Amino acid sequence: MNPTGFLSPSFAWLFLLVVPLVIVYFLKLKRPRLEIPSLVLWHSVINDQRVNSPFQRFKKHLLLWLQLVILLSLIFAAMQPFLRGGPGSAENLPILIDCSASMAATDTEGGPTRLERAKQRVEELIDGTLPDRVCLIAISDSARQLTEFTNNKRVLRKALGALTVRDVSGNLADGLRMAQALARRETITSVTLVSDGNFGSLETSANGQVIAPVDIELPFELKYERLQTSARNMGITAFNARRQAAVGSDESLTPWNVFVRVDGSPAEETSGEVVLEQDGQEIGRQPIALEPGQSKRLVYSLESSGVSNLVARILADGFDGLETDNTAYLTLPVSRSLFVWCDSELESYRHALGVFPGVVVYPGPSAAGQPDLFDLAITETTEKANPNLEASVRLVVGQIPEDLSELVTSRTGNSPVVDWNRSSLLLQHVNLDNIEITDLPVRGDDVLDQQFREAGYDILATGRTGPLVLARHAPGRETYYLLFHTDRSTLPYRVGFPVLVKNVIDISQHAAGLAEVQGQPTRVLDARTLEPNQAYTVTGPGASDQEFRTGPDGVLSGIPAPRVGIYRIRGSSGTVATVGASVLDAGESSLASADEIVPRDEELRVGASTTTIDTNRPLWPTLAWIAFVVLLVEWWYFQRMTARVAS
């Protein structure tokens, strides 16, 4: 490979200027006149010189040579030569730039953020890598290709300048996967990653090193350029509230327990105060001091009858590296009972529901008025069969979903439970051993679990001939299917049945935000149910308004929330919801840094390099300086020569 190259070889035509320079030099040379007694000797000297050396006049013209050096230096500078940076240069170079939340941190007080330093470094890479084609990829919660492969500096600089931090955790695997996809259509031998090393999932290896495992094989060489980091930080990594246990059915005045978890950076001790505000009023302030790597959970108790907005703030003592994780938001919902629809025929369920406080069962004597949307519906009909019954959580008993009719059928027979997902929310702590079921869901021939997943269903319990319990998760809607009827089984007579009902109540309360609310993390706002087929405008921090539209089911989902702050959802009638998004990521707040990136093939571990990668080095500034210095020398020499002749 040629060690040098030119960015603008077309400027080579300027070499033609050498010819007029030489001609003009000899034609227009301003020679000092000197009268001498006789030219006899000089004539013979000149004749002798010309005879002996025809090119003699070119030989010792220092001024001409200096002018040629200046001209050639400027021409070469215009051609923008560069020294190749060895194997570091490639024809196509994807540059992955980490712009996750930790990149907003400053490592010195008042200093540049990590992203600013990364952008500066990438700009050097762009300057040093051209004319190779560069593709910029930003990594945050997902990977975004900022530019195509190009050597257009203006385009690259513009894309780089527009890059901002997203207050989300970094997803390195996504970035590498995008580079892998690019490698399929372009020749890519190496990929450069510029990051602080704080990725979503960091682990500590046996030798004490922090590693970032990525489940991907790298078909290229990954150069991991890690920024120097030394920040100390304290951040809120969890912010949630749980309603205290109620006694009766009306629990509107039940107080909330609010939990704030604060994590410190692993390298240094941190201290400060945590302030809790409710609807703009400070209601609590607690000092906090953390050992390196320690985290603490602070508990506040407060009364709230209606919607209440909570803000937790950290007031750090001294320097705090990351500002965005010092604030967290939480919205407490209106306290009310859980509205449950339970078919009248399902006596066992109605009986079990009556045990739990804070639950209003429809239809029933104590249930006045029927809500448009139930929090929980326990029914023998599917959503398609009974579309008028709307609920956030639906437990369908003894029915097979219509869209699975080709995969599974129900027969009569004995179907013991073979296995079930004990960690699922619905079946946790539910023992399904030795339950007799007379319905027999039968899986079709050659039907695999994969086909259920592709249809959007998770299998929670499996019988001998087919699935028994299915779950389907959709934004704002959760549906659980018991493919057997509990009344035709021994389940209602087992301890697991009330546990199952309690689990579905908990799921419903969580979905409705009645028993426990968690702080909204950045990335994507949780789906919420609003008016169907309506347009809504979402205004977030530092971003222009975005239009979203609900579907026939009224679910508004997929609202990006890349920044920490308040997001207002406005409809035609005004603001319908206000949501505060927070970082709430222990990994980002720790500002930890991976020493190595470990891909699937562990032999190809990629160590962090804090030294700058050897890139192509532009030579035009050096040539410009040479031209300037030679110009000075020429001026000095000309002045000296003129002075000597004059004297």
Partner 1 sequence: MNVAASDKQLTSLLGNETLARLERLRLQPNRRKTNRTQGEHAAGKGGSSTEFADYRNYVPGDDVRFVDWNIFARLNRPFMKLYQFEEVMHVAILVDGSNSMKFEGKFERACQLAAALGLTALMGVERISAYVVGAAGEPPSVMPPCSGRVSMRRLFNFFERAECGGDATIDSAVESMLRRHKGKGLAIILSDFLTPASLARPFNLLYSAGLEIFALQVLGPTEIDPELTGDLRLVDSEHGRTVDVSSIGELHGIYREHRERLEEHVRRQCRMRNGRFLSISSDAPLDWVLFDLLQRQGWLK
Q: Which residues make up the interface to partner 1 (CB under 8 A)?
A: 29, 31-46, 48-49, 57, 59-63, 641-642, 644-645
Is 45 or 495 the residue whose CB approaches partner 1 more closely?
45
Is 35 or 454 the residue whose CB approaches partner 1 more closely?
35
Report the chain's terminal Cα–Cα distance, integer Å.
56
Instruction: Return phi, psi of residue 467, to 5°.
Output: -70, 150
Before 363, cis peptide (omega within 30)? yes
Alpha carbons within 13 A on the beta-carbon side of 409 = 5
In angstroms, give the least distance from the CB of 54 to partner 1.
Answer: 14
For residues 293 and 202, the answer to whether their CB atoms sit within 8 Å is no
In angstroms, give the least distance from the CB of 28 to partner 1.
Answer: 12
Is 49 or 152 the residue whose CB approaches partner 1 more closely?
49
Residue 536: other Cβ atoms inside 10 A: 20
In angstroms, give the least distance from the CB of 46 to partner 1.
Answer: 6
Distance CA 433, CA 436 (A): 9
- What is the identity of the amino acid at 286? Q
Distance CA 231, CA 149 (A): 34
In angstroms, give the least distance from the CB of 41 to partner 1.
Answer: 5
In angstroms, give the least distance from the CB of 71 to partner 1.
Answer: 19
Is 52 or 366 the residue whose CB approaches partner 1 more closely?
52
Helix axes 62-78, 620-646, angle to 10 degrees: 160
In angstroms, give the least distance from the CB of 626 to partner 1.
Answer: 24
**Structure tokens, 265:** 């950076």
Is 35 or 603 the residue whose CB approaches partner 1 more closely?
35
Segments in 475-558 forming alpha helices (H): 496-512
Is 58 or 625 the residue whose CB approaches partner 1 more closely?
58
Place of tokens 């697991």: 496
Is 57 or 411 the residue whose CB approaches partner 1 more closely?
57
Give all strands (DSSP E) within 502-545, no chain letters: 516-518, 520-521, 523-524, 528-529, 535-539
Is 37 or 552 the residue whose CB approaches partner 1 more closely?
37
For residues 313 and 282, the answer to whether their CB atoms sit within 8 Å is no
41 burial via Cβ count (<10 Å: 0-12, 13-18, 19+): exposed
In angstroms, give the least distance from the CB of 52 to partner 1.
Answer: 8
In angstroms, give the least distance from the CB of 49 to partner 1.
Answer: 6
